[in-house]
Structure 1
Amino acid sequence: MKNALILAFAALMLAACGTGGTGGGETMSLVGFAVPKAANNAIQKAWAKTAHGKGVRWKESYGASGDQSRAVVSGLKADYVHFSLETDVTRLVGAGLVTADWNTGPTKGIVSQSVVVLAVRKGNPKNIRGWDDIVKPGIGIVTPNPGSSGAARWNILAAYGQVLAKGGTRQQAEEYLTAFFRNVDALPGSGRDATTAFTGGTGDVFVTYENEAILARQSGEDFDYVVPDTTLLIENPGAVLKAAGPKAGKWLEFVLGETGQTEFAKKGFRPLTRIAAVDVPGANDPADPYPVPKALLTIAKDFGGWDKAATEFFDETNGVITRIQKQAGKS
């Protein structure tokens, strides 16, 4: 009898562990790139107030987008991923972890969006107004490393694409990037690490996501930022894995709904869908936080999509950006 009671108790404990602890709540694993953690956490709190989200517990892992994607392929548990680049999700498709139709919904698999901006020191002492100013002699640039960071790839393509948008040639765009990398003071591993470097005093200008600049200012950092006349729309994908728990699909629906997108907007991301007006502390104009740039480039329209852009610009052997980085000694 004593042995039977012990076995029954053990079975109950195993069942509790399998459902995420007491109360029968499901445990979900979120793996993402570093930048949207604050927004995802805010959405999780809102979701917890709903019938589907009540009792759900979270295990989270955040870091550089490419590193996180490779970690999931190598066995890091994930029910839902939120990455910087489409290619970091398609890597999971190739590994059989995400279905091939992950990007066929109304938002094409995108769950958050922003634009590339230029963060500058308070009062803008170097008078940086746009892309031409940051390649002048004596300007120190901070941007994450495109070898590990998805944020960096958006930044670098924005810098390249703005030359073409003004009527420049591909050769002139490469010359611009050569000057750009010549001025780089720091290439941290992730977008969040780059923010830390800049706010710690490195460089004169930080090429970053608009939402990262806004969130840093919400957190007490004191710097300015400039939305260039020509910039690039940043589109971050999210996907549910094949082996995900039963509530993961409901989570994704919530993320894409009005409440989820409102929480993204409050943390500096431009909402994917129409939401009620919100004030966004940290934005240049909290009441009108997301002005429309004069020219907004997109990966699909201006670079032929991420599959093409990843090969052309970031191939480890022959990519345009890879070559320029090596030549500048900034790999």
Structure 2
Amino acid sequence: MVLLTGCNPTQATQDANAAVDNKNISLLNVSYDVSRDFYKEYNTLFSSAYQAEHPDSKVSINQSHGGSSKQALSVANGLQADVVTLNQNTDMNLLVEKGLVAADWQQALPNNAVPYTSTMVLLVRTGNPKNIQDWQDLAHKGVEVVMPNPKTSGTARYAFLGAYGYGLHHFKEDSTQNAPQTNDYLKKMLANVVTYDNGARAATTSFTQRGLGDVLITTENEAHLVATQHAKGKVEIIYPSYSIAINNPVAVVNSVTDKNGSTDAANTYLKGLWDQPAQELMAQMYLRPSDKAVLAAHQATLPNINTFEPVAVFGSWDEIMDTIFIDGGLFDQLARPPQ
């Protein structure tokens, strides 16, 4: 039986009503674009484990995927998510501001509620005909770049920040306020972008199925899945010399689960991400698990990389959004208008 929590009469009534159907629990996981493959597998793993521990109950998980910021906005506007599994803290902060997620969500789970991380890599056509080896090569004349739109996609923001952070590192410039060489390089790179898709998976489709571009900027896990499954034999992965660390936070949407009586199941669902089977599954799906021993065991496919934390280079996520990705901000100043 699911243990239901409540501390006031109204909540107790809601939980009691929900408990009537506690044998059939349904959770909605609202997530970002390129997490769908992992969560499809994890949902099966979790459902089996939950069934074993709660033989009188059955839990089903529905998935919703899209650009991280679009997903967070959908939840803020009423999409009834039980849990959110996003790829940027600022998207989570929006839900905190709306009173949907608890302010202490980072303390509710291990590792500041980040079960796994990733990074940005480059995906090129087999044989690497444009000889792309690092971020700076994306600025070369004649190179066509595919990436999502930073206005709607958290992955795209990491792509831009990864390229910009590389520029600051490469040209030994100290900040966006004093980075003429980095800005020139970014202008050239963004001028080569042939499409800004709404989300990372849509960008993958543009690259692999529509045949657009010479290089796709995407997450490490998405690149591996494309290289081993979706476009096997047609693409190659290039690891930049210096890239960005991506944290993927998760949280329970208490305003929904308390109403539905699904809080216990939602918490169990997220806590299970830190269990050994889930951490192993992450590594198999080319995500970097927070368990260092599991990560080390998969070094062949998840090699050591030189990365930087975006907040260490660009300031807090609020500052990043207010100066770089706000309308008229640094991205808009350097990029041509998204198509």
- The normalised TM-score by structure 1 is 0.86
Which structure 1 segments of 5+ residues have no match? 1-14, 281-286
User: 1:84-128, CA deviations, whole angstroms, 9 ceiling, x for partnerless residues?
Assistant: 211111100000000011113431122331111010000111111
Q: Sequence identity, in percent? A: 30
In the alignment, which residue of structure 1 is the partner of 2:9? none
| Paired position in structure 2 for 1:298 | 309
**Which residue is equivalent to 2:100?**
97
Spell out structure 1 runs of 4+ moving beyond 6 A: 15-18, 277-280
Matched letter for residue 329 of structure 1: P
Aligned residues: 304
Alignment of 1:139-288 (within 5 A): 139-166=143-170, 167-168=172-173, 169-200=178-209, 201-221=211-231, 222-243=234-255, 244=257, 245=262, 246-276=264-294, 288=300
- Measure, in 2, the Cα distance between the counterparts of 1:16 and 1:78: 16
Bigger drift between 251-260 and 207-216 goes to 251-260
Gaps of 5+ in 2: 1-16
Question: Does 1:116 find its partner at 2:120?
Answer: yes
1:87 to 90, 99, 105: 90
Q: Confirm or deny that 1:72 pairs with 2:75.
A: yes
Partner residue in 1 for 2:21: 19
Q: After superposition, give the CA deviation of every residue in 1:12-52 in whole Å (9 maximum; x if it has no partner).
A: xxx899738xxx22111111111111101111111122245
CA distance in 2, matches of 1:279, 1:96: 40
What is the CA distance between 1:256 and its match in structure 2? 2.1
For the structure 1 residues 277 and 307, does the alpha-carbon distance in structure 2 shift closer, same or farther, using more than 3 Å as the test?
A: closer
How large is the RMSD of aligned CA atoms in angstroms?
2.1
1:49-68 aligned at under 5 Å gives the runs: 49-51=48-50, 55-68=58-71
Alpha-carbon shift at residue 276 of structure 1 (Å): 4.1
- The CA distance in 1 between the partners of 2:147 and 2:129, in whole Å, is 19
Higher share of residues assigned helix: 2
State the Cα distance separating 1:277 from its structure 2 match. 6.9
Structure 1 residue 275 displacement after superposition: 4.2
Aligned-partner residue type, residue 151 of structure 2: G
Name 1:36's counterpart in structure 2.
35
- Verify the 8 A CA contact 1:261 1:275 in the aligned structure 2: no
**Equivalent residue number for residue 315 of structure 1:** 326
1:128 alignment counterpart: 132
What CA distance in whole angstroms lies between the structure 1 residues aligned with 2:20 and 2:212?
46
SS of the counterpart of 1:153?
Answer: helix
Give a deviation string over 1:119-166, Cα, whole Å, max 9, x none. 000011111101111110000000000011111000000000111112
**More relative contact order in 1 or in 2 (CA 8 Å, sep 6+)?**
2
The residue aligned with 2:3 is none
Q: Retained in 1: the 8 A contact 2:289–2:295? A: no
Normalised to the residue count of structure 2, the TM-score between the two structures is: 0.84
2:198 aligned partner, one-letter code: G
Deviation at 1:71?
0.6
Say whether the 8 Å CA contact 2:147–2:217 is kept in structure 1.
yes
